[in-house]
Amino acid sequence: MTTLFISDLHLDDQRPETTATLLAFLSDEAPGADALYILGDLFEYWLGDDVPPGCAKQVAGALLSLVKGGVPCFLMHGNRDFLLGESFAEQSGVQLLPEEYIADLYGEPVLLMHGDTLCIDDVSYQQFRKMVRNPAWQSDFLSKSPGERLQIARQARDESSVHKSKVGMAIMDVNPTAVGAAFKRHNVSRMIHGHTHRPATHQLEANGTSVERIVLGDWYTQGSVLRVKAGRFELSALS
């Protein structure tokens, strides 16, 4: 059997082809899996459970069908959909995960993360992240009208695009010290994360031992999936 991992789908009503790719994946391959993990940024943005994007209902229905068919689904917040809450979880049947989670994959403990907390060299992003994860900020944001929330989200996305164009790619990638600290904190030899949109498998040394960091790909131009079997981790693009 196989456990599936995906992340950074950034589902958006403006890109229905990505939603179609996911729905096909959920109906064709996922029903035969032991479990499905979505490691953040399922949606391009999430303004609150009271104003989900148009594609959310269809996606929730497909996930719920998968869960009812016996495949547990787990969902982690990303940097775009961190406001996704219990209402969507109930509608989709997914189990929401904390930002750092140890999964037992066929007897091996593996650290799962979205990955943005590893990018500590991007100081301005980390400051922004701290602000929007503050319960007071979130309460104030959710008290605004849907139109106001959308305007704020679009402004944040535009500012993020400008920021990315000004800083080097290395700044936005993971920091080796942060990676090593995560391995040490959880005493594991393998981690899986997304966020950076740089799918790859990295062999490295951390805390005096050999470890592996697997980075999931985004779904902007094609699907990306990690298929895990006992002792096997296969990262590939979806056709």
Mean pLDDT of the chain: 93
Q: What percent of the chain has pLDDT over 90?
A: 85
Amino acid at 159: E
Q: CA angle 6-10-15, nearest 5°?
A: 120
Identify the burial level of 171 via C-beta atoms within 10 angstroms of its C-beta, where 0-12 means exposed, 13-18 middle and 19 or more buried: middle
Whole-number pLDDT of residue 239 = 65
Exposure letters 62-78 (e unless 16+ CB within 10 A, then b): bbbbbbeeebebbbbbb
Q: What is the CATH number of domain 3-237?
A: 3.60.21.10
Q: Report the distance separating Cα 167 and Cα 21, nearest Å.
A: 32
- Residue 165 confidence class, pLDDT cut points 50, 70, 90: low
- Tell me the domain boundaries of the chain: 3-237
Is residue 170 scored above 60 in pLDDT?
Answer: no
pTM of the model: 0.93
Which strands, in side-by-side order, build the sheet including 100-105? 100-105, 108-113, 190-193, 209-215, 200-206
Report yes or no: 51 and 146 within 8 Å, Cβ to Cβ.
Answer: yes
Whole-number pLDDT of residue 126 = 94
The whole-number average pLDDT for the span 118-143 is: 94
The whole-number average pLDDT for the span 28-39 is: 97
- Residue 41 confidence class, pLDDT cut points 50, 70, 90: very high
Is residue 164 scored above 80 in pLDDT?
Answer: no
Is residue 6 scored above 90 in pLDDT?
Answer: yes
Is residue 184 scored above 60 in pLDDT?
Answer: yes
- If phi > 0 it is left, if psi is from -120 to 50 it is alpha, else beta; for residue 174 that is beta
- Give the tokens for residue 193: 């994360």
Query: In whole angstroms, how far apart are CA 227 and each of 91, 118, 147, 173?
Result: 26, 23, 39, 24
